[in-house]
Amino acid sequence: MARAYSKVLNASLAIVDKRRESDRETHVMNIIGTVKNRNVLLVDDLISTAGSLVEAVQALKKEGALDVYAAVVHPVLADPAIERLKSSGLKELVVTNSIPIPRAKQFPLIRILSVAKLLAEAILRIHSNESVSSLFTRVGVEA
């Protein structure tokens, strides 16, 4: 997936190598690729306590990254995620509304995008016996 995003965005690829110690603890081990003097977009499927995301931001900044953005599909945002994010150095966090985000957890760093049209189109295609997978392709790049 990372390679597909890189191709669609016409951007170079770097990987944050992390090790999961437990269900609530991960550690960044290495940054594979060049991030020095570059803006970085972190892409992940889920953010729970924000521990690994914040550690990744810190590691990227230490390697010379400029602004660090993150795009995450499912924003669980369990405690202490919000406090961690507020002091993370992250420029912006873009999430979907696949999980409702209570007002108390919304703050200026977070931009919420709706998945309503995508889900509606998927339901329509299923009902019409049409392809759903074609919703997830871009300019010749398959997810």
Please give the positions annotated as active site. Answer: 18
Cα 49 off chain centre by = 14
- Cis check for the bond before 80: say yes or no (omega within 30 of 0): yes
**Inter-residue contact 29 to 15 (CB < 8 Å):** no
| Cβ neighbour number for residue 16 with a 10 Å cutoff | 24
Start-end of H helices in 18-110: 51-62, 81-86
The bridge status of strand 25-32 relative to strand 110-113 is unpaired
Q: How far apart are the C-alpha atoms of 60 and 64, rounded to whole Å?
A: 7
Q: What is the 3-state secondary structure (H, E, C) of 114-131?
A: CCHHHHHHHHHHHHCCCC
